[in-house]
């Protein structure tokens, strides 16, 4: 299964908790009760299966997980800093026009006129909307807001995102002030 399955990271083990083998987990999932609904998870990089014995909320985005067979702090310590993954086919269905980060990363970004902009290399989560970091075709970096006014279509089959950037969003359209030009009133 490990060689043919694609995996999605849904959390990270931060540290052991207490003496009975629980671990503190930082959840990377937007799905409410994601861990409560699972019977087992896998730990990267070797994708070993760990059945879940119990799940309980902790502080903020944190959870406390107890795995069957991990019964003391020493066993839990060995799991520190491991990514929690599940097979892609176990991911929850998203509403229309919503995408997982692993779907977006690596997409080719093309303007509506067919001009290639670059490839999405990172996603920054901001308060209002995500920002896609694009490595341009000449190595430059562009920041594109993940908003409907800019992102016009995402084609996961062709691995392409079509954008219609607003004026000034990409460097070649920016209006620069020329300090040598006299003001005309």
- The residue ranges of every structural domain in the chain are 7-90, 101-173
Q: Which CATH class for the 7-90 domain?
A: mainly beta
pLDDT, tens digit, for every residue of 12-55? Answer: 999 999 999 999 998 887 676 788 888 999 998 889 999 999 99
pLDDT value of residue 184: 52
pLDDT value of residue 176: 45
Across 163-168, average pLDDT: 86
CATH number for 101-173: choose from 3.30.470.20, 2.40.50.140, 3.20.20.140, 2.30.30.240.
2.30.30.240
Q: Which long-range contacts (CB under 8 A, 24 or more apart) does 16-19 make?
A: 16/73, 16/76, 16/77, 16/79, 16/80, 17/58, 17/64, 17/76, 18/73, 19/72, 19/73
The partner residues of 54 in beta bridges, in order of sequence, read: 66
Mean pLDDT of the chain: 84
Q: In Å, what is the CA distance from 6 to each residue of 1, 13, 139, 159?
A: 9, 20, 29, 17
């Amino acid at each position: 299964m490990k060689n043919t399955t694609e995996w999605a990271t849904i959390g990270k083990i931060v540290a052991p908790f207490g003496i009975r083998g629980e671990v503190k987990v930082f959840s990377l999932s937007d799905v409410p009760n994601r861990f409560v609904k699972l019977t087992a998870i896998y730990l990267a990089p070797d994708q070993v299966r760990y059945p879940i014995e119990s799940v309980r909320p902790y502080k903020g985005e944190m959870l406390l997980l107890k795995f069957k067979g991990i019964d003391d702090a020493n066993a839990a310590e060995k799991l520190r800093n491991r990514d929690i993954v599940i097979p892609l086919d176990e991911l929850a269905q998203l509403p229309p026009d919503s995408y997982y980060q692993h779907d977006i990363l690596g997409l080719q970004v093309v303007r509506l006129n067919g001009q290639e902009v670059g490839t999405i290399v990172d996603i920054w989560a901001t308060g209002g909307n995500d920002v896609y970091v694009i490595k341009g075709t000449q190595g430059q970096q562009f920041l594109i807001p993940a908003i409907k006014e800019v992102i016009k279509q995402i084609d996961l089959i062709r691995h392409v995102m079509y954008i219609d950037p607003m004026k000034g969003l990409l460097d070649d359209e920016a209006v620069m002030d020329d300090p040598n030009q006299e003001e005309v009133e």
